[in-house]
Chains A and B, each alone.
Chain A
Amino acid sequence: MGSNTKKNLITAGVFIVCLAAGLLLFNIVSGGKFLTADNIPVVLSHIVYPAFTAWGLSFLFACGYTDMSVGGVVVLAAFASNIFGNKFGYIGVIIPGIIVGTLLIFINFNIFAYTKIPSWIASISLAMIYEAFGFFLKTNSSTKQLVITPLNRDYRAIGQLGPSLILLAVGFILAYIIYNRTTIGLNIRAIGGNKEVAKAMGVNVNKTLLWVGVLAGLFIGVAAVIQLSYSGTLTVKTGLTSMSMIFQPLAIVLLAQILQKRINITIAIPICSLIIYSIFNLLTILHVPSGTLQEACLGAFLIIFAIIGQRKSKGVVK
């Protein structure tokens, strides 16, 4: 066994032990209410959507771009799944959601790549457009009914624990392989590391950016399908409130970036998703009011974690 593999296995072992100890601690703090047969499925079913969105965001961040319109894309992709799902069953749930998610993020990256507008500025504008379009669909007399009718319960198995965990496993394998074991994944990371060097080494920057759009869109599209299948309907957002939909995935990616020095980011994402939702779940069990107070606790946790993760590091945690 190579020294590198051994080191990775030891790191993984230590991390699993720490994670298990943390979850046990949560159980003790909650008076035995955290690790119960009722609560564990709740926790697990809530980590899938943010994990997929976080994988999508990690591809965006890896190439040095950001996209604030992801929440708006999720809503529109979920609308597509909802409309076509009620008409065509599972095919209608899965395919249109993924297509719309992929297409919209792909459009975003075309705009980033060819207009050279800073991505955070362009994506805020796009978020407003997507929100407005969602609002139009919800208020327009010919589409209103299609959008507000919840997805038929017969087609919502994807949101159930078993299928969604299978999807999580498939998503994890895909994300890991693409990020670490494909030319496109390595090129995406090269662009984020140093665009000029990447260009000089023959990496086609614009083509790679479009691939980022496709890959991130694919994960975000799947996330939209999972979220719709879980909740049955998604509420239209306006006034840039769709951005709040990515706060939790964003926290997951930030946490995964802190852990990145020791654990590959694609592996860290589902783990961080579990950690973040477990914190929310524990706070709920402890009757901490949801919303601002829980989010403040999450913020404090992230800062503490970043400080711990930053030790002995000469760089800066983003």
Chain B
Amino acid sequence: MAENVLEIRGLSKSFGSTRANIGIDFTLQKGEIHGLIGENGSGKSTLISQIAGLYAPDSGEMRLFSESYAPRSPLEANESRVSMVVQELGVVSSLPAGVNVYLGRTKLFSKFGLVSIKKLNQAANDEFEKWDLPKVGLHELADGMLIENRKMIELARAMSVDPEVLILDEITQSLSYNNRNKLYELLKKFKAMERSAIVITHDVEELIQITDRITVLRDGEVAGVLESANTTADEVKQLMVGREISGEYYRSDNEPDYDETAPVLTVNGVSVAGEIEDVSFEVHKGEILGFCGISDSGIHAIGKAVYGLEKLSAGEVLLNGKPLKSPTKALASNMAYVPKDRDNDALMMQASIWENLALPSTTELTGKMCFISPGKLRSTAQSVAEKMTVKCRDIYQPMSDLSGGNKQKVNFGRWLAKDIKLLILDCPTRGVDVGVKAYLYSLMKEAKKNGIATILISDELTEVLGMSDRLCVMKNGKLVTIIPRGDGFTEHSLIKVMV
């Protein structure tokens, strides 16, 4: 029998009246990659936060290598060689990438009180090389770096403590295809070193593929522990939600299906300095136009450029033949944009849920005398929250209290209160569970049926393949090809073009 590295018995944690973890039993074996899955709000993040020293449990016991383990801070967890890459926190943008890797431990490079930045960067660089992580500018400030580069800094930080236990909380969904593969390689290497990892992801197929065992949480309790080799995606999903979930939530048709007569949006030779070059495409009424590519392919700049958030160095964006240059005009022209980085680019984390939900609709809700009725704002927000089944105490709760999936429901759902003609979705299902995912896909299908044109940008190939009428493949900032939905619409054929 394999040696247990981490043993958890009867762990419970409550936040006010919310019982996030109830009597959790969990074991992590030596050399094991252990998956943790559950719906948004099922208690996964709370459990790993206790393991990583972010929260103290209310009751229960943790043992690391058979010894009592109760870290009071992430630093103490690090000292016990337990490290974590968290879903939400990220890096300090005002500090260089290298310093971020060793933040809190800069004394390691300090002599007579002076920190040697050269030695610190060298050590950070060694971590990137040791684990074959994609290079980032260690001297550069983290501010303005792509979300996946910031995740790589966090990963290097976690690896720099030489962990026996590594915890990855929904990191893969921030990564593009190639960097995701690098992470898988890192996990293989880690496992070969007889080290152990806990991986949280909402991608059930991925979880089955990369883990040895999977613990399923439901409503704060362990719903079951499965051997990855002997389970199926449907079995995991059923255990997660407590009911049978249909295996197929993408589109079932195999042909493009949209109104080809007149394009809703025309993008002519658009370039954004350092991001994309000479990109042209059209989106039609009722069409879902997908975008995919590896990191640095420029797919995420497409959404920003079309919505007017990026300054175009060349080309033009036309909505129904009229030029678009700013987000204000885009919003007034019934366009919507759901960015990838919801915490930094989309939502006001310190504001309430209702304020976030009502924000894009303020123009429509403004009366003749230029006043907005607070009642109307709140009722609009309330109806969206109910339609999207946002799990919250009430709509007055701060946005920052919500789980990742519920934040995404707000981020997506608030646009549905408007009469939208064009929807730009950048990684819309990042960090959401299968139940929410299925719901978001059903909304996309409904939008398509109602004639809304959609640009779907995603790092998940199955998602763009499953939902798009046509698929734009990008490489090095250029649009390489546009593939129509049909027989050649396979992951294999896409990867051949992307890489």
Contacts and interface: CB of A to CB of B under 8 A. Distances in A.
Given A4-B139, A181-B114, A183-B115, A201 B94 contact: no
Given A192-B94, A196-B89, A201 B113 contact: no
B91 interface: yes
A202 B54 contact: no
A11 interface: no
A181 B115 contact: yes
Interface string A169-200: 00000000100111100110110111011101
Contacts, number: 71
Contacts of A183: 106-107, 110, 113, 115
Contacts of B157: 201
B117 A181 contact: yes
B95 A186 contact: yes
A196 B86 CA distance: 12
B288 to A, nearest CB: 29
Interface stretch (B71-79, B211-219, B235-243, B462-470): B71-79
A181 B86 CA distance: 28
A50 B95 CA distance: 26
A212 interface: no
Interface residues of B, number: 29
Contacts of B115: 181-183, 186
B101 to A, nearest CB: 10
Nearest to B157: A201
Contacts of A190: 92, 94-95, 103
Contacts of B107: 183
B16 interface: no
Main secondary structure of the interface of A (DSSP, over half): helix
A193 B99 CA distance: 12
B143 interface: yes
Interface in B410-441: none
Most central of B106, B110, B113, B157 by chain A CB within 10 Å: B106
A180 B117 contact: yes
Given A200-B89, A315-B144, A186 B103 contact: yes
B105 interface: yes
B114 A193 contact: no
A193 B73 contact: no
A314 B341 CA distance: 15
A183 B86 CA distance: 23
Contacts of A228: none
Interface string A2-42: 00100000000000000000000000000000000000000
Given A181-B117, A183-B106, A186-B95, A202 B74 contact: yes
B90 interface: yes
Contact of A186 (B74, B106, B143, B144): B106
Contact of B75 (A177, A181, A196, A202): A202
Contacts of A259: none
Most central of A194, A196, A314 by chain B CB within 10 Å: A194
B113 A182 contact: yes
Interface of A: 4, 62, 177, 180-183, 186-187, 189-190, 192-194, 196-198, 200-203, 314-315
8 contacts: A180-B117, A186-B103, A186-B115, A187-B106, A193-B95, A194-B90, A194-B93, A202-B75
